[in-house]
């Protein structure tokens, strides 16, 4: 009933003929073309079936050809099937993308498509067949580093497309002389209902008002020397993905006006450079599901983030070193949160906002929490803790006490050869003694199944204390794994220490160790 064939191998058409002849009940035929449209199949000579196969005459209802590459041999196969499939109800032909250098071939390909369309119209079921071709969705167009002359060619190329939809347009420009054409190109793209727009500039451009007014745009990626100036709320009702990478902003209100005009936004990525342009980066997005923030800004006072995203599921924040606050006000559906190199904002309010999460990865410093907090992470099943900063073990103790359902615990040490590194920078990770939990945490007694320590420091007495406590009390553990930097391979006590760890786990627990 269903047949799917790939056309990348030589003489694939002979196999197709045999399958058509010997599959009388076939209802769905799907052909998948090559990823590389310019490749050739040598020795082409298709021997058509002597008689139209029974499946074409009586049963085939759906015909799909993905990555159709418009060669004459493919046209012959497609025309044969469309001509003889008397009961066909749906035919879909999607083409390989046209490269900018191949735009001159578009007219030829439209002519070839019309020939297939004529074949369909001549069949008895022509009114039921739908064809999707390159002429209904122009694929990805990319223009890189144009000079003045090439800028004119971009305009002509965009105007030459009469199709109603432009799938993707990418502009990566170095020459400031193009600045006067960008508004024109945006107007043409929006008139073609562009779905994805990427603009990467190496010269300063203040965002024109027309940049944020497309009702059909689904993905917008802005990079580098673009200055976002949005004096009033915008309207991008279809926008689902927004990437703001190393752009600058006129003020806090420009950020709010931009985001408030994206009611369907699901994925937001914010990469900020060392240039300070916004004090309070406020993100209010009811439909937002995924948020990534990477902030390199330094020397700021009273700056930070406010996140109000009730549908948020995935949160990834990196390099918030100088921010004074990061308030996550409303995230009841949070599934996973990752924090890398984050400081100053780690307090009880911050941790309380992460309560709904099922997976946490924490690389934090300056923990300003005094136990007990009363925070319970009822949903947390996976925890990853980095050991870079002083008092990381306090965070570990707090989370073990507060995560009754924790099943996987992963500890990642500072760096390969970490003790050497700590010695040279004068950092003592265990500057104070570790305060063990007053009572064995519930997760160790009943839930923890996997314990991993990455880049385990065999020379650290404090780390030995932590791993001994966990292995001794995690009585339901199924797997314990320690990876060790090769710098410790010659340590005399290595084998002895690993043997001690192995003896701490039960016979039902798999113990693994190795170098990295």
Strands 219-228 and 248-249, by their bridges, are parallel
Residue-level pLDDT at 34: 67
Contact (Cβ atoms closer than 8 angstroms) between residue 77 and residue 49: no
Residue-level pLDDT at 418: 44
Residue-level pLDDT at 141: 75
Residue-level pLDDT at 424: 36
CA–CA gap between residue 61 and residue 81 (Å, rounded):
11
pLDDT digits (tens, 9 = 90+) for 448-506: 999 999 988 887 788 888 999 999 999 999 999 999 888 777 777 888 888 999 999 99
- Residue 510 in tokens: 């798999």
Is the backbone of residue 145 left (phi > 0), alpha (psi -120 to 50) or beta?
Answer: left
Q: What is the pTM of this model?
A: 0.72
CA–CA gap between residue 336 and residue 334 (Å, rounded):
6
| Residue 61 CB neighbours (<10 A) | 17
Residue with token string 């924090």: 339
**Residue 501: which of 487, 482, 484 has the closest Cα?**
482
Q: Is 84 helix (H, G, I), strand (E, B) or coil?
A: helix
In whole angstroms, how far apart are CA 183 and each of 144, 169, 189, 205, 291? Answer: 17, 14, 10, 11, 29
Residue-level pLDDT at 180: 82
The answer to whether the Cα torsion of 378, 380, 383, 387 is positive or negative is negative
Residue-level pLDDT at 91: 79
Residue-level pLDDT at 137: 46
Q: What is the mean pLDDT of the chain?
A: 82
Report residue 504: phi and psi, to 5°: -75, -25
**Residue 365: which of 342, 348, 393 has the closest Cα?**
342
Q: Where are the domains of the chain?
A: 2-128, 380-516
The answer to whether the Cα torsion of 171, 175, 179, 185 is positive or negative is negative
Q: What percent of the chain has pLDDT over 70?
A: 80
Q: Using CB atoms within 10 A of its CB, is residue 193 exposed (0-12), middle (13-18) or buried (19+)?
A: middle
Supply the Cα-derived Rg of the chain in whole angstroms. 30
The answer to whether the Cα torsion of 376, 382, 388, 394 is positive or negative is positive
| Residue 169 CB neighbours (<10 A) | 24
The pLDDT profile of the chain, 516 residues, written as one tens digit per residue, is 999 988 877 678 888 888 998 999 999 999 888 655 444 444 456 777 878 899 988 888 888 888 777 777 788 888 888 888 888 887 777 776 655 556 566 667 667 777 776 776 666 554 334 444 444 445 667 777 655 556 777 777 777 766 677 888 888 888 776 788 888 889 989 988 899 999 999 889 999 988 999 999 999 999 999 999 999 999 999 999 999 999 999 999 999 999 999 999 999 999 998 777 788 899 999 999 999 999 887 766 678 899 999 999 999 999 887 777 888 988 999 999 999 888 777 677 888 899 999 999 998 766 666 665 678 999 999 999 988 766 677 888 889 999 999 999 999 986 544 444 443 333 444 445 677 888 999 999 999 999 999 988 887 788 888 999 999 999 999 999 999 888 777 777 888 888 999 999 999 999 999 887
pLDDT digits (tens, 9 = 90+) for 240-272: 999 999 999 999 999 999 999 999 999 999 999
């Amino acid at each position: 009933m269903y047949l799917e064939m790939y056309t990348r191998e030589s003489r694939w058409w002979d196999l197709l003929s045999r399958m058509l002849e010997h599959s009388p009940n076939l209802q769905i035929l799907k052909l998948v073309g090559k990823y590389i449209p310019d490749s050739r199949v040598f020795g082409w000579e298709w021997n058509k079936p002597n008689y139209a196969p029974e499946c074409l005459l009586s049963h085939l209802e759906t015909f799909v050809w993905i990555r159709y590459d418009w060669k004459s041999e493919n046209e012959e196969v497609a025309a044969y099937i469309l001509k003889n499939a008397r009961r066909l109800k749906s035919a879909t032909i999607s083409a390989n993308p046209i490269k900018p250098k191949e735009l001159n071939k578009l007219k030829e390909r439209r002519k070839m498509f019309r020939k297939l369309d004529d074949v369909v119209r001549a069949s008895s079921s022509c009114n039921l067949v739908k064809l999707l071709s390159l002429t209904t969705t122009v694929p990805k167009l990319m223009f890189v580093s144009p000079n003045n002359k090439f800028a004119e060619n971009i305009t002509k190329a965009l105007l030459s497309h009469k199709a109603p939809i432009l799938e993707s347009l990418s502009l990566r420009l170095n020459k400031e002389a193009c600045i006067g054409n960008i508004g024109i190109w945006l107007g043409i793209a929006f008139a073609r209902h562009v779905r994805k727009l990427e603009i990467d500039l190496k010269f300063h451009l203040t965002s024109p008002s027309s940049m944020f007014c497309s009702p059909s745009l689904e993905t917008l990626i802005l990079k580098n020397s673009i200055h976002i100036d949005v004096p009033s709320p915008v309207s991008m009702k279809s926008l689902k993905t927004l990437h703001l990478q190393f752009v600058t902003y006129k003020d806090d209100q420009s950020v709010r006006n931009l985001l408030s005009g994206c009611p369907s936004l699901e994925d937001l990525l914010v990469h900020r450079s060392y240039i300070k342009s916004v004090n309070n980066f406020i993100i209010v997005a009811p439909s937002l599901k995924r948020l990534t923030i990477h902030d390199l800004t330094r020397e700021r006072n009273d700056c930070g983030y406010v996140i109000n995203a009730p549908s948020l599921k995935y949160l990834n924040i990196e390099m918030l070193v100088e921010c004074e606050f990061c308030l996550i006000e409303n995230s009841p559906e949070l599934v996973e949160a990752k924090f890398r190199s984050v400081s100053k904002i780690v307090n009880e309010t911050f941790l309380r906002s992460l309560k709904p999460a099922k997976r946490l990865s924490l690389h934090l410093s300056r923990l300003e929490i005094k136990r007990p907090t009363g925070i319970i992470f009822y949903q947390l099943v996976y925890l990853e803790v980095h050991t870079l900063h002083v008092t990381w073990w306090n965070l570990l103790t707090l989370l073990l006490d507060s995560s009754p359902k924790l099943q996987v615990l992963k500890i990642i040490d500072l760096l390969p050869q970490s003790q050497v590194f700590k010695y040279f920078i004068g950092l003592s990770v265990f500057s104070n003694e570790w305060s063990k939990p007053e009572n064995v945490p519930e997760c160790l007694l009943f839930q923890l199944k996997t314990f991993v320590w990455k880049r385990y420091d065999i020379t650290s007495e404090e780390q030995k204390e932590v791993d001994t406590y966990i292995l001794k009390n995690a009585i339901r553990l199924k797997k314990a794994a320690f990876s060790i930097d090769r710098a410790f391979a010659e340590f005399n006590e290595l084998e002895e220490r690993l043997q001690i760890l192995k003896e701490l786990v039960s016979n039902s627990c798999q113990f693994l160790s190795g170098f990295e």
